[in-house]
Structure 1
Amino acid sequence: MTIDEQTVDKIAHLARLKLNAGEKAEMIADMNKILGFMDKLNEVDTTGVEPLVYMTDEPNILREDEVKQVITTAEALENAPEHDDAHFLVAKVIK
């Protein structure tokens, strides 16, 4: 598969991009290079190769989630410009 100007126009429209003629030419060249690289990868024999899920076998060393500070609903609403007894009130933005 090769990328042509119509394909770039369609992708640019979907991505809401406006490309001039020079940018389109660069985009066509770049996308064709990417597809060429993908074709090279498709030539590689991957028979017997397990799919890679993680880049490392190291265990997860992140800390556990712990509750550090608890505030009440009343405390959370103290600085709210508008609120009722239990909720923040905000302007309606969707009709």
Structure 2
Amino acid sequence: MLDNISNKQNSLRRIRELKQLFPQTKNITQQAYNALTPRLKRLICFHAGLQQRHVVMEYEELLVNERKAVIRAMSEIQAMGTLLPSRMMLTDSCIE
């Protein structure tokens, strides 16, 4: 029993040491999503098939499957952005 406790304490100590060596930082997707305006979050959540309540949530509050849906939606919107013309004007809507 004492051996198990000692092993556990050694393991926890080693984990603390490793955490100090590799400080945890936010991931890029988390930083990008949390910085979005509510309007853009609404667009991402809609495209990801999430509900209105997700718009007010931070990335870290989402469930894993919701995060994956957000990542897919952001990737698809990013890919779509490369296909759009670099310059659009409101007059483009007029037929001449």
Structure whose alpha-carbon radius of gyration is higher: 1
TM-score by length of 1: 0.35
**Higher helix content, 1 or 2:** 2
Q: TM-score, normalised by structure 2?
A: 0.34
Higher RCO (Cα < 8 Å, 6 or more apart):
2
